[in-house]
Amino acid sequence: GENVEQHPSTLSVQEGDSAVIKCTYSDSASNYFPWYKQELGKRPQLIIDIRSNVGEKKDQRIAVTLNKTAKHFSLHITETQPEDSAVYFCAGSNDYKLSFGAGTTVTVRA
Amino acid sequence: IAGITQAPTSQILAAGRRMTLRCTQDMRHNAMYWYRQDLGLGLRLIHYSNTAGTTGKGEVPDGYSVSRANTDDFPLTLASAVPSQTSVYFCASSDWVGQPQHFGDGTRLSIL
């Protein structure tokens, strides 16, 4: 099955700086890669996703890049704000099963 | 407001008891999923259902069962709860397999 690894496990950034989270996957057949944001005590919420036929996708301050050859994908958050503080999860899927990374706790320092 | 409703919100249960976690969605999504979330392990798939009437095993299915009698409901049953099943359980749904999954608010379950 798919195995998704996520790094770093914690990330502290100064407000206004950029944050980057990286994930690698094992199954070359995986074709869908969503990112979820989870605030403390809340549900995971989809923030952006990318499919294997696209190399990059952007939505305002958030962007995701995908390198199929190297089997890794990354989340980029620019101009970080305090409300970006949360746990972020990457995931990979080759059909119906989403395999999640262990999560990255992002703290934005004011 | 359309979405996924999970019940109960939280529960403390004695080991050995039977427990059913409820999940209902009103988005007419075909696919539904159950995950457990444990600190440091992310979200792990327990069981899933691609369409009403079908179910499948995920990554950690042992000790759990599901049914999908109709499109809207996808209950998760612990036949005989054990302390290692203490976790936060999330139900999710998607229009079809391979489509974005939307999560419920979760059930916090403690087995003593």
In this model, does residue B6 exceed pLDDT 90? yes
In this complex, do B44 and A100 lie within 8 Å of one another by their Cβ atoms?
yes
- The gap from C-alpha A63 to its chain's centroid, in whole angstroms, comes to 9
Q: DSSP per residue over A55-109, as a string?
A: SEEEETTEEEEEETTTTEEEEEE-S--GGG-EEEEEEEESSS-EEE---EEEEEE
Mutation site for A-interface testing, chosen from B4, B10, B33, B43 by largest number of A Cβ within 10 Å: B43
Is residue B17 within 8 Å of residue B85, measured between CB atoms?
no
The SS3 call for residue A3 is coil
| pLDDT class of A95 with cuts at 50, 70, 90 | confident
The model's pLDDT over B56-110, given as tens digits with 9 standing for 90+, comes to 999 999 999 999 999 999 999 999 999 999 999 999 999 988 889 999 999 999 9
CA A32 vs CA A78, A98, A107: distances in Å: 23, 9, 27
Cis peptide before B8 (omega within 30 of 0): yes
**If you average pLDDT over every residue of chain A, what do you get?**
94
State yes or no: cis peptide before B100, omega within 30 of 0: no
* Under 8 Å between Cβ of A103 and A7: no
Q: For chain A, say whether B59 makes contact (Cβ under 8 Å).
A: yes
Residues A12-42: tens digit of each pLDDT = 999 999 999 999 999 999 999 999 999 999 9
Among A67, A61, A78, residue whose Cα is nearest residue A17: A78
The whole-angstrom separation of Cα A90 and Cα A22 is: 8
Backbone angles phi, psi at B53, to 5 degrees: 95, -10
From the list B56, B101, B106, the residue facing A98 with the nearest CB is: B101
Contact assignment for A102 to B103 by CB distance below 8 Å = no
Per the CB < 8 A criterion, the answer to whether B11 and B109 are in contact is yes
Residues of A in contact with B39 (CB under 8 A): none
Scan for tokens 């706790």, then name that residue.
A105
Tell me the C-alpha distance between B92 and A27, whole Å: 23
Q: Report which residue type is found at A84.
A: D
- Out of A1, A43, A95, name the one closest to residue B90 (CB): A43
pLDDT higher than 80, residue A1:
no
